[in-house]
Amino acid sequence: MAPRPSASRLTHFLCIPLVTSTSRPQLQKTLSIFKDDAANCATSGRRFPSGIPPQAFRPLGTLNLSVGVMSLLSPERQEGALKILRQLNPTELLSSIKPADTRSDAESPGEKSQDTGQDPASLNITLKGLRSMQETSKTPALFAPSLDPDMRLYRFCQKLREVFGDFLVQDTRPLRLHAPILNTLYVPGKKTTKKRARKERLKLDATELIARYENFVWMEGVRVEKVAICKVGAQVRKGGQEEHEVVGEVELL
């Protein structure tokens, strides 16, 4: 297993926000369906008579594709990252990325693979399915993976990681572009010992859920509109909506 990032205190993260005027109604509907369906999912370890606690379901305003995490502990470090963001031309960056060659072995070199239909200067995201990064029968978190048949999204995010390399916490693990759907980290838990303020984390047997949502589309064909730097830790805003504070963002024109 690849080593985890260093233990630096994480303060910010670089991301692609997923909530837009187009995606909002789609996500409101699909997240509501999932929450109602998954509420009575079996749990292992600590038991809850009413099923999965509501705090485990990630709010709409927190959905994003995380590109990398940052430890910006000084005003100078934060301003340095924001300066790069302000100078970034994501549309130009995206235009320089060619789709992966999806041509089959049966095609001759002169034949072109099927066109994805995407504008070279734009990028669309579809979230489909449900995944766990741990054993499905004992998992604390579930994610919705992004479809990326031509690898443009992945390559775009890799280029972003290169641009912000001096400000990202180094992580040798593969980049996974998925949206957080459920995480028991946010569920209050009982302390395991009196000496340590460590809580027992709820784990789920999500085997059935993952199978049932294998082909579930959370949002489809949503255009990427922004690249943003946000603060770690979602905050409750006016109206009771929970979301991450955006400290800087740049639009894809």
The answer as to whether 175 is a domain residue is yes
The answer as to whether 133 is a domain residue is yes
The answer as to whether 104 is a domain residue is no
The CATH number linked to 84 is 3.90.1140.10
pLDDT exceeding 90 applies to what percent of the chain?
63
Convert the pLDDT of each residue in 192-226 to its tens digit: 555 455 556 788 889 999 999 999 999 999 999 99
Q: How many domains does the chain have?
A: 1
The answer as to whether 4 is a domain residue is no
CA distances from 147 to 6, 10, 49, 209 (A): 29, 28, 36, 19
| pTM for this predicted structure | 0.84
Convert the pLDDT of each residue in 48-103 to its tens digit: 556 788 889 999 999 999 999 999 999 999 999 999 999 999 999 998 898 775 44
The answer as to whether 1 is a domain residue is no
Q: Is-contact 129 146, C-beta < 8 A?
A: no
pLDDT of the residue at 187: 84
CB neighbours (10 Å) of residue 179? 21
Residue 214: partners with Cβ closer than 8 Å, 6 or more residues away: 129, 130
- Residue 87: left if φ>0, alpha if ψ -120 to 50, beta else—which one? alpha
Convert the pLDDT of each residue in 145-163 to its tens digit: 999 999 999 999 999 999 9
